Structure formats: structure tokens, C-alpha cells
Amino acid sequence: MLIMQALSDSGAELENLSDSDDTHFLRDALKQVSAVKDIGHAGTAMRFLTAYLSTQDESVVLTGSDRMKQRPVGPLVDALRALGAGITYMESQGCAPLQIKGGLKKGGSITVDGGISSQFISALMMIGPVLEGGLKISLSGDVVSATYIRMTQSLMQKGGIEASFKGREISIKEGKYSFNNFVIESDWSAASYWYQLAALLPGSEIALPMLEQDSLQGDAILVNMFTSLGVESCFEGKSLLLRSGREVQKSLFEYDFTSCPDLTQTMAVTLCAMGIPYRFTGTRTLRIKETDRVAALQTELGKFGFSLEADEGGDWISWDGKRGQPEQNVIIETYHDHRMAMAFAPLAIPFGALTVNDAMVVTKSYPAYWQDLEKAGFSLSDL
């Protein structure tokens, strides 16, 4: 919404905007007149800004943290170059920092691998209306995160843009964004940690504001996913009430996370804590997130005696339900990954206590997470 707001002339106000680091980095980068824009760990900001800045009449360097300089952006750069954008790698091929000349004006037709991050595809979609003739994107291979593409399409349509996504073809017509004041739904990914707590604490009632039953977010699949784990979802106006306590069957849990990869860590930790074996597929993109999330899950859950198996490419992750000897006084490493901190913190429920290193990494997406845990009755202390 920040990118679309910047591309529009309407001056619409955005209500219920996230207070996360990612939001602040992106908003500041859009406002600042600077030859260098540093977006830290904000991967979404890196992808969206690469496309957005290509259309602006300025030359800038877009950079980020050391980890950001390792995360691939090549497929997006290739697509933008095919349209005529002037982008140069300043250090490693395929990664930030990028020298972006700007001035991209004409649209056209491009082909993009559907197996890459949907953020690359959404970044291209959002600039489509400001390009002469619009933009047509053909997706090759497997499309890994279609729900995020549809979410981008729906938001663009709310802004008056003609956008279609049929089969493997995305078509964006030239036009102007026009928004009235826009209320942004809360984050279903963040809601997953409260579903997790409800599942691990039968008898809980938890109210979460500003979540909609007909959400555009793919992670709203939480409603169905956690039903099998004893959590009931009740929508009341603009709030969601979670109730838990139903008996849970501990049979093999199988799920394809292609459309909701950000829920993988929450589910992996929750199921281990509940003693439910599982096999996940559609987890390939986890290797290139804030950290290698497959390896991180294996290492950190291993400290509690849970031995996860995974293939080299990260296409599947499994746990057989058996538990070995846990370590004493477990310390969780977060690897600069907000989701590692929030997914593992609830293990204090079955194991009594644990320590999370670099705990404030949560500010990337959910700055108030620890304060909200305290509101729920957990005891926190700094070491």
C-alpha cells in the first residue's frame, strides 16, 4: 500500500499501518531525498523499491545489511532490465547493493520464473500502471506463492487499476492509482503466534483486532490449519476471537506450504510441542529468507531433542514424532530472523522457560510482541 500510495496522486491516508521496522524502512526510503537508500534487513522493501525506483527520475544506490547483500535479487533485476531499466550490481552479481539510474517509462511483455519469490512479481505488477502501454507478465515453471500475487492484484483493483491474473498470465493496464482513505487489515502472519499460544494452552480465549473473515492474505488459512489443532476461530465485527480446548488427534500432519511459507516455523514448533508428527512440502523458498529457515529449524528444535529431516533443496521438512535428549537451559538463536524468535518463545509453555538471543529482532514485523506476551501473563526478563 505504501508503494501504491507513492505511485498515486491521490494523497490517501493509510489507517492501521504497521509499526514494524520493515514499514519504517520503506516509508523513510520513499520520503528521503538521498543518493543512498539503506533498507537494513527489509527484504520486501528491497524488492519493491528496486522496481519503484526504476520508474523515478533519479539515480540512487539501494543497499542493506550484510544478510541483505546475500539475498538474491537477480531475477527481478533481469526482468526490469528487459524493460529497459538501468541497474548495475555494485558488489556481488545478483545481489545488493544496486545502482539504479531510474527513468523507466515503457512497459511491454516479459517472462518471469513463477518459482521465485512472489515479492519480485508483486514489485513488477505494482509499477505496471505507470508504464506506457502497461505490463504483461508470463510466469514460467511452478508458481509458488499465487495467493500473494492475487493479494497484490486485488489491492491494485481497489486503487482503480485494471489487473488480471489468469493461469500463467498477468496483465496490467496503464492507468492511475486512485485511493480514498484506506484501512489496512492486520497481519495474519503475526496472528499465527497467537494461534500457537492458544493451541499450547487449551482453554484460552484470545481476541485479535482488525482481522477479516474474507481476508486477501494467504496466511488466513490459519483458520483451517489450526482447527485440527483444537483452536476455534470466531469472527465478531472487526475482531477475531480464538478459543481452544477441543481434543486433538495426534496423527501425521501433512501440509503444502507453497502459498503460506511464513507459517512454516510456527507450525513446525507448535507440532513438536504437541507431539504431533508432520511432513511439510512447498518449503523451498525458506532457504533464502532472512536466514536459511530450514537449517535454523533443524538446529534450534534439535536443542529440545526434536530431530527434523529435510532434503537439500528444502522442498520438504519432516519430524517422525520421536524425541531425543534435550539440552539443559536452552538458548535460542534467532539468526536475525524475527519469525525464529516469535515461533520459539511459546516453547516456554511446555518446557517452563527458555532464553532467546537478539530478542528485539521481532521489531522487523511485530515490535510489540514481547509486551503483548506480558499482557497475556508471561514473565519476561533481560539477561
Q: Which CATH architecture has domain 188-375?
A: Alpha-beta prism (3.65)
Cis geometry, peptide bond prior to residue 261 (ω within 30 degrees of 0): no
Question: What's the pLDDT at 373?
Answer: 95
Domain 2-183 falls under CATH 3.50.50.60:
no
Give me the pLDDT at residue 145, please: 76
From CA 168, how far away is CA 287, in angstroms rounded?
A: 25
Q: Do domains 2-183 and 188-375 have the same CATH topology?
A: yes
Active-site hit among 22, 38, 219, 262: 262
For the chain, what are the domain ranges? 2-183, 188-375
Residue 135: the pLDDT is 98
pLDDT at 49: 96
Instruction: Examine the residue annotation and report whether 9 is marked as an active-site residue of this protein.
Output: no
Q: Model-level pTM? A: 0.78
Nearest Cα to Cα of residue 2 among 10, 14, 15, 16 = 14
CB burial string 311-326: b at 16+ within 10 A, e below: eeebebbbbeeeeeee
Question: pLDDT 10s digit of each residue in the chain, 383 long?
Answer: 999 999 997 777 889 999 888 899 999 999 988 899 999 888 899 999 999 999 999 899 999 998 889 888 999 999 999 999 999 999 999 999 999 999 999 999 999 998 878 899 999 999 999 999 999 999 998 887 788 899 999 999 999 999 999 989 999 999 999 988 888 999 999 999 999 999 999 999 999 999 999 898 889 999 999 999 999 999 988 889 999 988 898 899 999 998 888 999 999 999 999 999 999 998 887 876 767 899 999 999 999 999 999 988 878 999 999 999 988 889 999 998 999 999 999 999 999 889 999 999 999 889 999 999 999 999 999 87
Which pLDDT does position 56 carry in this prediction?
Answer: 95
